[in-house]
Structure 1
Amino acid sequence: MTDTSIAAAHPAAFSPAASTKGIQVDLPPVFCPMPLRCHPDVSLLERRGIEWMDRHGFCRTPDQRNRVTGTKTAHFFAYLCPDADAELLQAAVDWGYLMFVFDDRHCDEESDADDAFIFLDLAVRIVRTLEAPDAGVLDPRHPFTAPVTDLAHRIHRTSSPTHVRRLVESHRSWFSGVAWDQAARTRGWPTISDYLFTRMLYVASFTTLTWFQLSEHSEMPDRQINAPAVHALTEMAGTVAAIDDDLYSYGKELWFTRRRDDPEAVFPGNLVNLLRTTHDCTLDQALRETVVMRDRIVDRFIDVRDRLLPHAGAPLQRYLSNLTCLIPGNFAWGLAADRYTNPDGRHPGAVTTRGSITDIPSATGSPGIPSIAWWWHDLPLPPC
């Protein structure tokens, strides 16, 4: 068994000991036999992305600029799409920088969950603008209007109608998931089955994976990307990314929880705490159970992917490559991003999360969860 720290990729993410005033989370090793790859133009993607955010007024103060740069969004997409056309990938990078600001203001734990209309009204207007850039449905004074409109015009110039449609539908999926999550926070704990299939919606996994496609010159036909085996791989990769988000963001959420009116409250929007509550176990046990679940999914992902690859044409091969890169790339990025080590942008080093990878899964086979059980069914190969 190999237990390899990924500190070599991001040395700053791993300190030997956490600050006595901060929070330290030590994660069990996660199964990740895929190599971490990076786009060679990551520095250019980062510079252009930050300049774009600056032009649209999101870096006016040092705190705002640090908040934007600290997301390391260019690295996120550079890890996920290491072979993409840099010009096409830039739109995805710019979208990522902007959507992290959007997420902080309207989607995360600090947003006002009681005022759902503010979020939904903005969400439907963003979707319509992506669909029809000149629709004029966004308030000209709103800070998101100019950048969203710019992105919409860019994707309509460079992408096929099929890709645009997929991007629009993926945003509808994401925003419906966020709306569900905001409403669900007041209704108690979901089941693990409900949590997993809704989590892949409001973590924006389908939207992110659609940007994969827009960064490629080739277009996969619907009959391939919608084939059960390919769709299962899409869901598996997105769910692993969501679970890893729950792991590397646990310290951030704990930091915010301790600063609220009820510091002993347990936040439900995280698989680790859902398992703690459902199984009445310790944090260490819940972390191990969370890793066991994601390892089972990674093992199944590799099995299905390897059955598809010998029969896949070039567009599908690139898509499967990007899905594969998502698993190590998202994990490495999340451990390093200031978004999770400096929760509010004003407390550098407040959270330290230490993680490592292994080439042997902690468990294999279906976890027996109804909403995702079909991933372990007999999945026919997609048409050529």
Structure 2
Amino acid sequence: MQRLAPLPIPPFYCPLPGALHPQWEAVNRRSVEWLEEFGLFESRRQYERLVDARVGELVGRVSPRGGPEALQVAADFYQWLFAFDDAYCDEGALGSRPEALVVELARILRAAETPGNAAPDGEGYLDALRDLRLRLDRIATPVQTNRWVEALRGYFFFQVWEAANRSRGTIPTLDEYTVARMQSGAVKATMMLLDVAEGYELPAAEMDHPLTRALTEMACTVIDWDNDIASHHKESLRSQDHQNLRDILAHEHDLSQQEALRRAIAMRDRVMVHFLRLKQAADATESVARSRYVTSLCDWIRGNLDWQVSTNRYRNPENPVVLESGFAERPSTELTDPLPIPSVQWWWDPGLLLPGHGERECPMGGLRAG
């Protein structure tokens, strides 16, 4: 694929309200101090990139009602993820060496699983992850910490998957990439801190319910696809692994970059529209805890878009993409049927997500329950 000039990115469709925690600047400042304490950077340039990411603003938009201690843990975890991504993934030293990467990830993961088993050993990323787990234990339930560890395990697994693709020069299919992207962006791991931030626990029966799982997967997909759409040009200047939604669409369907961009936006809009329908269904279940969690998913989707405009994390200041201001009033497509991606078509199955709802009663609009 040829490297092309950046294409203007039209406004995203996102009819969700935005909010920002009033203490985000203090949280951001302390997170930079935490970054320095553990030395999670290898050069001045990397340090400046991490500071420019403004993780305090991101977490302040994702959890605008969060408590101070939980908000700080979340911000420091985001900081860890960005630093870790730079050091180990994508363009990192092990980003194309899956055999070496999986050994290192297994060792680092153990610090999150059993943080009390060993004293700090001078390894920044391992020690910092251990610190996060110990702090999380003070404010979260065992169920919540276990969810976080398991989501982190999923993130690590798909980092190895990406490294294997790079080592072989493989471009995944759209179906394969859609499944992987829900985990590889680490958004799901951060979502396991949403109820922690607000001081409640979403019961397991509700977290694991197909409706909640579908909403979580759809939110992950919208967020990560939005990042793919906005960051494509920056990534193409730094890497040519083509593990980006726009490149995969161009490769799989023999599209120009302009047409791939158009199709990527139409796909994310179809997921966004269906997410809003499912949110209505979740609100109708009269579960206060699930409604709070789904509201936080909405905050993540909208907060990510607001944050993208202000951060340099997904931009190249020397060769920037034009992000048109504002939000689109309507989705870019009228299509509401399931995406032609086999692994996620279950999102559109009301019989699975809303058992007991007949075809006429189903709030998912026009889809059969059978």
Same fold (TM over 0.5): yes
Distance across 2 between alignment mates of 1:62 and 1:114: 24
1:285 paired residue among 259, 277, 281: 259
1:149 aligns with one of 130, 134, 147:
130
Matched, 1:90 2:72: yes
Q: Is the 8 A contact 2:19 2:303 kept in 1?
A: yes
Whether the 8 Å CA contact 2:7–2:258 is kept in 1: the answer is: no
1:341 matched to which residue of 2? Answer: 315
1:238-273 deviation line (CA, Å, top 9, x unaligned): 00111111111111112124xxxxxxxx54201101
Looking at structure 1, the residues matched to 85 and 194 of structure 2 have their Cα atoms a distance apart, in angstroms, of: 20
Kindly indicate whether residue 351 of structure 2 is the aligned counterpart of residue 369 of structure 1.
Answer: no
Aligned residue number for residue 299 of structure 1: 273
Of 150, 154, 157, which residue of structure 2 is paired with 1:176?
Answer: 157
- Please state how far the C-alpha of 1:381 moved relative to its aligned partner: 4.4
Paired with 1:278 and 1:35, the residues of 2 have a C-alpha distance of: 35
Q: Which amino acid is the alignment partner of residue 293 of structure 1?
A: M
Q: Is the 8 A contact 1:255 1:351 kept in 2?
A: no
Q: Look up the match of 2:38.
A: 56
The aligned amino acid for 2:49 is R
**Alignment partners' CA distance in 2, 1:93 and 1:83:** 14
Mapped pair 1:44 → 2:26: yes
Q: 1:375 to 1:367 in 2, by over 3 A?
A: same
What TM-score results when the alignment is normalised by the length of structure 1? 0.85
Which stretch has the larger CA shift, 62-71 or 44-53?
62-71
Q: What is the rounded CA distance, in whole Å, between the counterparts of 1:382 and 1:280 in structure 2? A: 40
Partner in structure 2 of residue 162 of structure 1: 143
Residues 339, 41 of structure 1: alpha-carbon distance in 2 compared, 3 angstrom cutoff: same
326, 329, 334: which one pairs with 1:359?
329
CA RMSD of aligned residues (A): 2.2
1:350 aligns with 2:295: no
Q: What pairs with 1:229-244 in structure 2 (closer than 5 Å)?
A: 229-244=211-226
**Residue in structure 2 matching 1:128, options 93, 110, 118:** 110
- Contact map agreement 2:85 2:92 (CA 8 A) in 1: no
- Name which of structure 1's ranges 189-198 and 111-120 shifts more when overlaid on structure 2: 111-120
Q: Which runs of 5+ in 1 are unaligned?
A: 1-21, 258-265, 343-347
Structure 1 position 367, deviation (Å): 1.6
Code of the residue aligned with 2:348 in structure 1: it is: W
Match of 1:191 among 157, 173, 181: 173
Instruction: Please list the CA deviations of residues 132-190 of structure 1 after superposition, one character each: whole Å capped at 9, or x if unmatched.
Output: 11222x98132213212211111112110000110110011111111111112325222
Offset at residue 62 of structure 1 (A): 4.8
Identity rate of aligned residues, in percent? 30
In 1, Cα distance between the equivalents of 2:311 and 2:318? Answer: 11
Q: Name the residue aligned to 1:272.
A: 246
Are residues 24 and 336 of structure 1, via their aligned partners in 2, closer, same or farther at CA, if it must alter by over 3 Å? farther
Q: Bigger CA drift: 318-327 or 305-314?
A: 305-314
Residue 364 of structure 2 aligns with which residue? none
* SS, match of residue 79 in structure 1: helix
Deviates more, 1:355-364 or 1:91-100: 355-364
**Whole-angstrom CA distance in 1 between matches of 2:112 and 2:241:** 33
Q: Does the 8 Å contact 2:94/2:101 carry over to 1? A: no
Q: Among 219, 227, 251, which residue is 2:233 paired with?
A: 251
Contact 1:341 1:351 in 2 (8 A): yes
Question: What's the offset of the Cα at 1:101?
Answer: 0.8
Query: What residue number does 2:365 align with?
Result: none
Which deviates the most, 307-316 or 273-282?
Answer: 307-316
1:19-30 matched pairs, under 5 angstroms: 24-30=6-12
Aligned partners of 1:45 and 1:74 also within 8 Å = yes
Deviation string 1:192-225 (CA, Å, 9 cap, x unpaired) is 1111011111111210111213212111111101
- Comparing 225-234 with 70-79, which one deviates more in the overlay? 70-79
Q: Which residue type is aligned with residue 126 of structure 2?
A: T
Which residue in the other structure is 1:10 paired with? none
